[in-house]
Chains A and B, each alone.
Chain A
Amino acid sequence: MNNNLKFITGLTPTKLSVNTAAQKNASHVLDTTELPTTRTEAWKYTRVAKIGKIDFKNEASTVTSIDDKKVIDSPHTLVFVNGRFSKELSADTFPAGVSVKPLSTLDGISTQEEFEGDIFGALNLAYLNDGLHITIEKKAVVEEPIQVIHILKGEAQLSNFKVQIDAEDFSKATVVQGFFSDDASNSFVNYTSDIQVGVNTHFTIEKIQDEEAGNFHIGTDSVSQGKDSTFTINTITLNGSLVRNNLNIDVIGENCTTNLNCGYLLKEKQHVDNHTVVDHRVPNCNSNELYKGVMDENSTAVFNGKVFVRQDAQKINAFQSNRNVLLSDNATVNSKPELEIYADDVKCSHGSTTGQLDDDAIYYLRARGLSKSAAVQLLVSAFIAEVIAEVGNEDVKTYIYKRLNERFGWDINPEDFG
C-alpha cells in the first residue's frame, strides 16, 4: 500500500476496458512508487506533497450550462465533467473526416504499458474516469476546430481524464482544449494524452488552462510525429494554483517541424511548471520552443526544457527560448533549458532571460501621459503578445485577451496586437 497516496483506497477503480498489462503495471507503480519530492530531479522545483494529503474522491457531477466555460463558440464541442462525458452538453455531429468516441464506448483502449515510475500517469490509467478518442481520417482537411472542454466540479474531487488523438496521414486539424472549473476547490485534474501525428499531417492544439485558484492540474501530452508532419501546441495558462504541464514529443519521422509555445501570467500563490522533452531521433527536423511568463505577487514559474538530438540525427535545428519578467520581489523563476546532443551537424541553441520591465520604457510612456499602471499593462501585454500571436485561431485569441482583461483589470483591444 502506498504511504503517499492514502486517498487511493477511497477511489473507484476504472471501469473502462484498458488492457490488462497496462493496468497491472499501473497498479505496480502505484504500490511501489512514492510521490515525487524536490529531491527527484524532474520535480526539483515543484512540491506535490499536499496532493497526497487531500482525501480525494472521484465522483461524478453535472453542470447545467457551459456558457461561461468554453473557449470558442463551436458546434463541435465535447464536454467532460470530472472526467466523465456529458452527453447533454456535447455535440453529436462533427465535420466530415472526423470521428469522435468517448473512451467509455470503446471495446478496448490501447495505450502505453510502461510508466517508468510516473506515478501520475499510473494513477490516471488505474482510475481513469473517461476520455475521448478522436480520429482525423486520412487526407481529411478539417477547417473548423474541435473543442474539448473539461470542467472540474466539487470539493476534493480527482478527475483522471485522457484524450487520444489519431491524426491520420495527410490530414489537417485543430483541437481547442479548455480546462475549467465550476465551484471547485482542492480538486485535481490528472490529464494524459496520446497523440499520433501521421505522415505529412498538420496538427495543432490550442490549450487554455483556466481552473480556479485552489485546484491542481497535472497534465502529460505524449506526441509521436511521423514523416513530414507539423505539430504545434500553444498553451496559455491563466489560472490554477498548481499547474504542471509535461510535453513529450517523439520525432520519429524525418522533415518534421515541432512548435511549442506557451504563455503564463501568474499572480497570488500560483505555481506553474512546464516540462518539455523534444526527442529528435531522426535527421532533418526543426523544433522551436517559446516560453514566456510574467510573475507577480507570490507566484512561481518553472521551466525545464530538454532537447535530445540522438546519434546520427543530423541537420537538426532546435531552438529553445524562455523569457521571464518578475513584477514582485516575492515571485520566483526557476529555469532549466537543457540540450543533450549526440550528433555534430546540428544547430541548436537555447536562451533564458529573467528580468524586470525596463525603467526607461516605463518612464518614456509616463512622460507621454500614461499612468504607471497603464504603462505596466502595455509593456506586460506586449511582452506576452508574442506568444499569443502564435495562436492560429482568431476566436481563441479573442477569448484569451478577454480573460486577461477580466483577470488583470486590463483594457486591451485584441486588435491592437493583431
Chain B
Amino acid sequence: MATYTEDDLAKDLEGKEYEFGFTTDIESDKAPKGLNEDIIRFISAKKEEPEWMLEFRLDAYRTWLEMTEPEWAHVRYDKPDFQDITYYAAPKQSKKYESWDDVDPEMKETMSKLGISMEEQKRLTGVAVDFVMDSVSVATSFKAKLKELGIIFCSFSEAVQEYPELVQKYMGTVVPKQDNFYAALNSAVFTDGSFCYIPKGVRCPMELSTYFRINESGTGQFERTLVVADKGSYVSYLEGCTAPQRDENQLHAAVVELIALDDAEIKYSTVQNWFPGDKEGKGGVFNFVTKRGMCHTNSKISWTQVETGSAVTWKYPSCVLKGDNSIGEFYSVAVTNNFQQADTGTKMIHIGKNTKSTIISKGISAGQSQNSYRGLVQIHKNAENARNFSQCDSLLMTDRCGAHTFPYIECKNSTAKIEHEATTSKIGEDQIFYCLQRGIDEEKAISLIVNGYAKEVLNQLPMEFAVEAQKLLTISLEGSVG
C-alpha cells in the first residue's frame, strides 16, 4: 500500500465537499430586501413585540447607521451589501402547531437529515431541543419538564411576550446594543433566538441545546441568545450549526449574552459547521458573532467551541470576570480549509479579585486558508491575585496556508500572574516515524496526532456533543482513517 503522507491528507482536505448541503423548500413569509426603519417596524410588528422592544431596535439601528464596519481582523472578504439582505423570513404558518404531528412533514425531513429527529431526541437522548429554522422556533420539547424546575427555555420572541421583565432586565447588559458594528446590526434586526433562565440553586438536569440553521437563500440570520443563571445554579448549553450549500455569501451576525450570577456556572458549547464555500473559495457563510459572558462573584463561565465551517469567521467568546473569585475558560479548536478564513479567540477581562482564566486554543490550517488567534487578557488595577494561563497552538498542513497569533496582554496589577505561550509547526516527521516504528501506519498516525492535538479541547465537550464534534473534526481525515 502506498504510504499516506501529509500531501495526501492535504489533497483529501481539498477534495472534501460540504456534507450537509441540501435545502428545504418551505414557503417563506419574507420581508422585502433592504434595511430601513420601516423594515425594523415590520419585523417588530410581525413578532407582535411590545413598544420597548421596538425602541431598543430603532435605537440600535440609529447607532448602527453611524458606525463603520470594522477592518482590524486578519480576514479579507467582499463586504456584504446590507441593502441586499432579507431581514425577515419565517416559515409560513397558518396556525400554531397543536402537537408534533401538525409539524410540516418536509421540515421533519430536514431535521432527520440533520440527525435530530424530534421523536428520537425525545425518546432516547433526554436533550431538549429548541429547533430554530429560519429564525422562528418551530418546536420546543421538554418544556414542561423544565418548567417543573422553574427553568425557562424558550425562543427569544416567546420570552419577550411571556417574560418581558426578565428580558428587559438582562438584554443588552453584557453586549450593549452599541457594542460593535455587528452587535448593533443584530440588535436592530434580530428575528429570534433562544432565551434561558435557570432559577436560584437549580442544577439543570439536562443539556440544553439549540440547532440553528440558515435555509432561505439570501437570508441573513440574526440570532440572539440570552442565558441567565441565577445564584447557585448550573446549566450546560449546546449550540450547533449546519447550513445548506449556497452560492452567494450569507451573513450570520449573532449575539450571545451569558449572565452567571453569584455562585452560578454556565457551560456553553458550540459546534459551528456553516457552509465554508467550495474548493474555489466561492460562497460560504460570513460568521460575525459577538459572544460575551458576565461572571459575578464565585461564578464560572466556560466556552468551548469547535469551529470547522464558515467562509469567514470573526468570533471572540469573552468573559468579563467582574465578581471576586470568578473563573473564565475558553477552549477552542478551529479548522480552516480551502479558502476559509478564521479570526477567532477570546477576551478575559479580570476586574474582581482572585479571578482565574484559562485559554486553550488549537488552530489547524489546511488548503489555502488563514487561521488567526486574537485574544486579550486584561488585568485591571484592583484584580488582586488574578491568574491567567494561555496556550495557543497552530498546526499547518500545507505550505499555502497561514497561522497567526495576535495576543494582547495588559496588566495593571503587580500580584497578577500571566502566562502566554504559542507555538506554530507542522506534524513532525519524527512523530510520524515514532508511530511507524510501532506498527501504526502513516494514515492512522496523522489521525492520531491531529486528534491528540485537539484532545484537550474535545474533552471539554459534553458527551452528546463530543461525538458530533469529533465527526466534524475528522471529516478532514476521512479516507485516511481505516
CA distance A345 to B418 in the complex (A): 29
Give B417's nearest chain A residue, CB to CB.
A355
Q: How far is the CB of A47 from chain B (nearest CB, A)?
A: 15
CA distance A354 to B421 in the complex (A): 12
**8 Å CB contacts to A: which residues of B444-482?**
none
Question: B396 near A: Cβ within 8 Å?
Answer: yes
Question: B398 near A: Cβ within 8 Å?
Answer: yes
**8 Å CB contacts to A: which residues of B373-418?**
379, 381, 394, 396-418
Whether the Cβ atoms of B424 and A351 lie closer than 8 Å is no
CA distance A328 to B412 in the complex (A): 9
Give B371's nearest chain A residue, CB to CB.
A341
Question: B72 near A: Cβ within 8 Å?
Answer: yes
Question: B423 near A: Cβ within 8 Å?
Answer: yes
CA distance A249 to B115 in the complex (A): 54
Question: B113 near A: Cβ within 8 Å?
Answer: no
Give B399's nearest chain A residue, CB to CB.
A344
Using A336-B407, A336-B408, A338-B407 as known contacts, say yes or no to A349 and B421 having CB atoms under 8 A apart. yes
- With a cutoff of 8 Å between Cβ atoms, the chain A residues found around residue B411 in the complex are 324, 326, 332-335, 354
- With a cutoff of 8 Å between Cβ atoms, the chain A residues found around residue B426 in the complex are 344-346
CA distance A339 to B375 in the complex (A): 13
Give the interface SS of chain A, mostly helix, strand, loop or mixed.
strand
Question: B422 near A: Cβ within 8 Å?
Answer: yes
Question: B420 near A: Cβ within 8 Å?
Answer: yes
Interface residues on B, range: 35 or more
Whether the Cβ atoms of A311 and B412 lie closer than 8 Å is no
Using A349-B421, A354-B418 as known contacts, say yes or no to A341 and B407 having CB atoms under 8 A apart. no
Question: A353 near B: Cβ within 8 Å?
Answer: yes
Whether the Cβ atoms of B404 and A346 lie closer than 8 Å is no
Whether the Cβ atoms of A348 and B418 lie closer than 8 Å is no
CA distance A344 to B72 in the complex (A): 24
Q: How far is the CB of A278 from chain B (nearest CB, A)?
A: 14
- With a cutoff of 8 Å between Cβ atoms, the chain B residues found around residue A403 in the complex are none
Using A326-B411, A348-B425, A349-B422 as known contacts, say yes or no to A340 and B402 having CB atoms under 8 A apart. yes
- With a cutoff of 8 Å between Cβ atoms, the chain B residues found around residue A339 in the complex are 394, 403-405, 422, 424
Question: A157 near B: Cβ within 8 Å?
Answer: no
CA distance A175 to B401 in the complex (A): 40
Whether the Cβ atoms of A334 and B409 lie closer than 8 Å is yes
Whether the Cβ atoms of B420 and A329 lie closer than 8 Å is no
- With a cutoff of 8 Å between Cβ atoms, the chain A residues found around residue B27 in the complex are none
- With a cutoff of 8 Å between Cβ atoms, the chain B residues found around residue A92 in the complex are none
Q: How far is the CB of B363 from chain A (nearest CB, A)?
A: 11
Whether the Cβ atoms of A352 and B418 lie closer than 8 Å is yes
Question: A126 near B: Cβ within 8 Å?
Answer: no
Using A329-B414, A332-B411, A335-B409 as known contacts, say yes or no to A347 and B425 having CB atoms under 8 A apart. yes
Contact with B along A315-344 (1 / 0, CB 8 A): 000000000101111011111111111111
Q: How far is the CB of B263 from chain A (nearest CB, A)?
A: 28
Contact with B along A107-140 (1 / 0, CB 8 A): 0000000000000000000000000000000000
Question: A76 near B: Cβ within 8 Å?
Answer: no
- With a cutoff of 8 Å between Cβ atoms, the chain A residues found around residue B408 in the complex are 334-336
CA distance A121 to B256 in the complex (A): 44
- With a cutoff of 8 Å between Cβ atoms, the chain A residues found around residue B425 in the complex are 346-348
Question: A181 near B: Cβ within 8 Å?
Answer: no
- With a cutoff of 8 Å between Cβ atoms, the chain B residues found around residue A342 in the complex are 401-402
CA distance A354 to B419 in the complex (A): 7
Whether the Cβ atoms of B400 and A311 lie closer than 8 Å is yes
- With a cutoff of 8 Å between Cβ atoms, the chain B residues found around residue A349 in the complex are 421-424
- With a cutoff of 8 Å between Cβ atoms, the chain B residues found around residue A406 in the complex are none
- With a cutoff of 8 Å between Cβ atoms, the chain B residues found around residue A347 in the complex are 423-425
Question: A402 near B: Cβ within 8 Å?
Answer: no
Question: A356 near B: Cβ within 8 Å?
Answer: yes
Whether the Cβ atoms of B416 and A326 lie closer than 8 Å is yes
CA distance A336 to B403 in the complex (A): 16
Question: A41 near B: Cβ within 8 Å?
Answer: yes
- With a cutoff of 8 Å between Cβ atoms, the chain B residues found around residue A346 in the complex are 396, 424-426
- With a cutoff of 8 Å between Cβ atoms, the chain A residues found around residue B398 in the complex are 344
- Where the two chains meet, the residues of A that have a C-beta atom closer than 8 Å to any C-beta of B are 41, 45, 311-312, 314, 324, 326-329, 331-356
6 of the cross-chain contacts (CB-CB < 8 Å) are A329-B414, A332-B410, A335-B420, A336-B408, A346-B426, A355-B417
